[in-house]
Amino acid sequence: MYADILIKAVLYVCREFDSLSPHDVRGNCKKAFDAGEALGIPRVIEPADMDVLTVPDKLAVMTYLYQLRAHFTGEIITDKLY
């Protein structure tokens, strides 16, 4: 569930949503994190972790989503969250 939300959020805003494969969680996460890095958003979790773990690290996922939100709203992040 968290992987789906994260991937869709990143790829939607990067206009790469159609490039997703429904059976390739790791590949989809890699595309999402690569797109995020192109925006200057550092990875806080690896694609393999999103695929292998039953439940990915919720704090890492929320931190990443917060950084995405901050990027697109112009909010300034004063402390590193990871």
Over residues 54-67, the pLDDT tens digits come to 777 888 888 888 88
Tens of pLDDT, residues 16-40: 666 777 788 788 788 888 888 888 8
What pTM, to 2 d.p., does this model score?
0.66
Mean pLDDT of 1-9: 59
Cβ atoms 49, 56 nearer than 8 A: yes
And the tokens for 12? 């939607």
AA letter at 55: V
| Dihedral of the alpha carbons of 4, 13, 15, 10, in degrees to the nearest 10 | -30
Domain boundary assignment for the chain: 2-73
Q: What percent of the chain has pLDDT over 70?
A: 71
| Dihedral of the alpha carbons of 52, 56, 57, 60, in degrees to the nearest 10 | 100
Q: Which CATH number is 2-73 given?
A: 1.10.418.10
